[in-house]
Amino acid sequence: ETGVTQTPRHLVMGMTNKKSLKCEQHLGHNAMYWYKQSAKKPLELMFVYNFKEQTENNSVPSRFSPECPNSSHLFLHLHTLQPEDSALYLCASSPKGVVGIGSPLHFGNGTRLTVT
């Protein structure tokens, strides 16, 4: 049990489908993040939410739409994806938005997404 739970663990979707990834944290943290992990590439930060407010959108295409209804839940809505969007999508949380000292990220186990 990592404290950060992601569902589903695996997802296969066609390019015309609409699906959502879910993340839930049980750590009482106030900041949540979406990262994309592709083979042989550094982790890419996608979105950051602090106290339910989006504070960073790292030039992510609009076919990815985040939603943060409260500090414990984070969603990533997907529509009309491309095959190159296939990757491991990782959710993370931290006590607050500053990770510099004593507040590292806590990651979920990720959702393995395959776009066909």
Partner 1 sequence: GNSVTQMEGPVTLSEEAFLTINCTYTATGYPSLFWYVQYPGEGLQLLLKATKADDKGSNKGFEATYRKETTSFHLEKGSVQVSDSAVYFCALSELSNTGKLIFGQGTTLQVKP
Residues engaged in binding partner 1 (CB under 8 A): 2, 4, 6, 31, 33, 40-43, 45, 48, 50, 55-56, 90, 92, 94, 96-110
Measured from the CB atom, the residue of 64 and 107 that comes closer to partner 1 is 107
Question: What is the DSSP track for 62-105?
Answer: TTEEEEEEETTEEEEEEES--GGG-EEEEEEEESSS--SSS---
| Closest by Cα among 23, 16, 113, 8 to 66 | 23
Measured from the CB atom, the residue of 48 and 115 that comes closer to partner 1 is 48
CB of 74 to partner 1, least distance (A): 14
Measured from the CB atom, the residue of 11 and 79 that comes closer to partner 1 is 11
54 within 8 A of 97, measured Cβ to Cβ? no
83 φ, ψ (degrees, to nearest 5)? -55, -30
CB of 15 to partner 1, least distance (A): 26
Measured from the CB atom, the residue of 80 and 86 that comes closer to partner 1 is 86
| Closest by Cα among 90, 91, 88 to 112 | 88
CB of 98 to partner 1, least distance (A): 6
